[in-house]
Amino acid sequence: MTAAVTAQSRPVKVRLSPSRASIGSGARTIAGFAVVAAAWEFIARVILGGTNLIAPPTGVVAASIENWDLYQRAVRITAWSAIRGFFWGNLVAIALASLVAVAPSVERVLLRLSLAVFCLPLVAMGPILRVVWGVGEGPQVTMAALAVFYTTLVPVLVGFRAVPQSWTDLIHSYGRGRFRVLATIRARASIPYLFAGLQVAAPAAFLGALVGEFTGADRGMGILTINSMRALKTDELWAVASISALVSMAAYVGVGAIGKRLSVGRPSLLMAPGSSGRAMSTSRRIARTAVEATITLAIIVVIWAGLMNFFDLDSYFAKRPSDVWRYMVSGPSASANRSEILESLSDTAQVVIPGYLLGLLLGAAAASIFDLFAAVRRTLTPIAVALRCVPIIAIAPLLVQAFGRGVAGMTITVAIMTFFPTLVACAHGLRQTPGQVLDFYAVYDTSRVRTLLSGQIPAMAPAFFAAARMAVPATILAATVAEWLATGSGIGNLMAIAAVSSRYETLWACVVIVTAIASISYGAVAVVERLVLSRVAPEQMQW
């Protein structure tokens, strides 16, 4: 009787029809954009009027209309390079992930090689690829492919692992091998993660194509960005950045719509058993890591020298490993060369480290707030996605202008560029909470905050750490782009000067050092990830 009375006393929730709910959500989104546009116009016209820091929306629209023929031609050129790079980069990513799933023994070395490629600084690789490819769209397509393949590889691997152990045991009990497990179970389980990676890769491909155009192309959105920035045409610069953001956002939303249509629903609850064997000792783990790192380094050196010799590239600009070694270690000016690079790295580290940590923290916190408050999520998520899609190459100079060229301003710039990818990834991770977990908390009428803290955040951990790992080279890219284009300091500025003045040994040395630091930092994040996921998501620790 008491239960019946209690049930009857509960308020009845009125559910809106899907069409009315969609209209309401669209209205909130439009209202959110209207508020942002009004605030943007007020700040540009009243607070910062006459400073040429921010172009008002009306000025952006006027510049877009005035130069529309030029802009639409540039968009087509850049987008075509981005599409080709997107295709090839993601094809390689899926192929490598499938290889790892079928042959797990190659995972660690293969991922180290892939990581080294992903950590290559785009601002330095652009001039090198331009010299190698010459005139044409080769550098743009290559840069787009380099920008996307690892952002897809990592989520796909996470998705391949996100299957109940009992499912793989069932397939193995019928005498089937890893390839059948991949084709029948892992491929289906990876679909949400694949499209999460493809969503991130779509804007990244456009960014890669833009960076490629910065290095000597004669047309495209990258060239328009440089020309507007050098001519101090604020309205045109913001127009190019806004159009680039809209194109990237359209690709992001389009890929997301396809992924939603192919969605297989909420994932099943994963009950991964503990390891049946003895844990590897610390000394053996360190020895294995050292051996794998040595093998990876040897492979990189062989490939590097082999490609240079195979294509018979001029040693004046195509430096070999021995050239970099002589420049940094054994040459007569090695000490001065190291000092120059280390001093520049010190300037960059002062903004990269705090900006990276701040961006991760704020991104995870914002995703949690969005999950708790549906109205906030529906209103601000489209804005966050739009800002996530703004190419770093287009917005970095604007952020530097707005926040200044000092350490504080650069730290904020780096944090902003880390914040939005983390927010999107964490929001996706929260949505991957198994339905059984949510049902369990609902049965006991658990509060939303308690459900979030004890149920959803552990489920978000794989997505958060995937974002944290991929944010390492992305953060370095944001800092070096800002230094390259606007600040006149740091390792990004040194690479720009080296490229312009044909100091190719300096440029190649910077590439090696930045890649090594990014790889080591990435590995440090992976160690923390492994410690955390071994407790909250043990299925990620095994195939």
User: What phi, psi does 434 have (nearest 5°)?
Assistant: -60, 140
pLDDT for the residue 339:
93
Let me know: does 424 contact 252? Beta carbons within 8 Å.
no
Residue 251 resides in a domain:
yes
Residues 433 and 527 in one domain: yes
Residues 190 and 258 reside in one and the same domain: yes
| 226 and 329 part of one domain | no
Name the nearest CA neighbour of 259 among 383, 155, 178: 155
pLDDT of residue 389: 60
Same domain, 349 and 498: yes
Pair 72, 209 in one domain: yes
pLDDT tens string for the chain (543 positions)? 444 444 444 444 445 455 555 565 567 667 767 887 888 788 888 877 766 677 888 888 999 999 999 999 999 999 999 999 999 999 999 999 888 888 887 877 888 888 788 777 777 777 777 777 877 788 889 989 988 888 888 888 878 877 767 677 777 777 677 777 787 778 887 888 888 888 888 888 988 888 888 777 788 888 888 888 777 788 888 888 888 888 888 888 888 888 888 765 555 544 444 444 455 666 777 787 778 788 888 888 898 888 888 878 788 888 899 999 999 999 899 999 999 999 999 989 988 999 999 999 999 999 999 888 877 777 776 666 666 666 666 666 666 666 767 777 788 878 887 887 788 788 878 887 877 778 888 888 888 888 888 888 888 888 888 888 878 887 887 788 778 766 778 898 898 888 888 888 998 999 899 888 888 888 888 888 888 888 777 755 554
Question: Does 203 share its domain with 343?
Answer: no
- CATH number reported for the structural domain that contains residue 225 in this entry: 1.10.3720.10
User: Are 255 and 342 within one domain?
Assistant: no
Range of the domain at 361: 324-542
- pLDDT of 275: 44
Q: Fill in the amino acid letter for 488.
A: G
Domain count for the chain, please give it: 2
- Which of 219, 236, 264 is the C-terminal boundary of a domain? 264
pTM value is 0.73
Read off the pLDDT of residues 237-286 as tens digits, 9 standing for 90 and up.
888 888 888 888 888 888 888 888 876 555 554 444 444 445 566 677 77
In a domain, 285, yes or no: no
**465 within some domain:** yes
Backbone angles phi, psi at 219, to 5 degrees: -160, 165
In a domain, 299, yes or no: no
pLDDT for position 90: 94
Helix axes 221-230, 234-261, angle to 10 degrees: 150
What is residue 278's predicted lDDT score, i.e. its pLDDT?
Answer: 52
16 occurs within a structural domain: no
Per-residue model confidence (pLDDT) at position 164: 67
Q: What is the DSSP code string of 84-117?
A: HHHHHHHHHHHHHHHHHHH-GGGHHHHHHHHHHH
252 with 349, same domain: the answer is no
Which residue's entry shows tokens 């090198």? 128
**pLDDT value for 427:** 85
DSSP character at residue 539: G
Phi, psi of 136 (to 5 degrees): 135, -170
The whole-angstrom separation of Cα 46 and Cα 350 is: 33
Residues 337 and 468 in one domain: yes
- Of 264, 287, 303, the last residue of a domain is 264
Q: Which of 264, 285, 311 is the last residue of a domain?
A: 264
Q: Could you give the CA distance from residue 270 to residue 139 in angstroms, rounded to a whole number?
A: 43
- Give me the DSSP letters along 137-167: SHHHHHHHHHHHHHHHHHHHHHHHH-S-HHH
Is the domain of 202 the same as that of 328? no
Q: Are residues 484 and 350 in the same domain?
A: yes
In a domain, 351, yes or no: yes
User: Do residues 400 and 411 touch, judged by C-beta distance below 8 A?
Assistant: no
41 domain residue, yes or no: no
- Provide φ and ψ at 281, rounded to 5°: -65, 160
Q: Is residue 517 part of a domain?
A: yes
pLDDT at res. 539: 59
Predicted pLDDT of residue 338? 93
Per-residue model confidence (pLDDT) at position 14: 47
- What is the pLDDT at residue 353? 92
For the chain, give percent helix, strand, coil, nearest 5.
Answer: 80, 0, 20
**One domain, residues 253 and 328:** no
344 and 517 Cβ atoms separated by less than 8 Å:
no
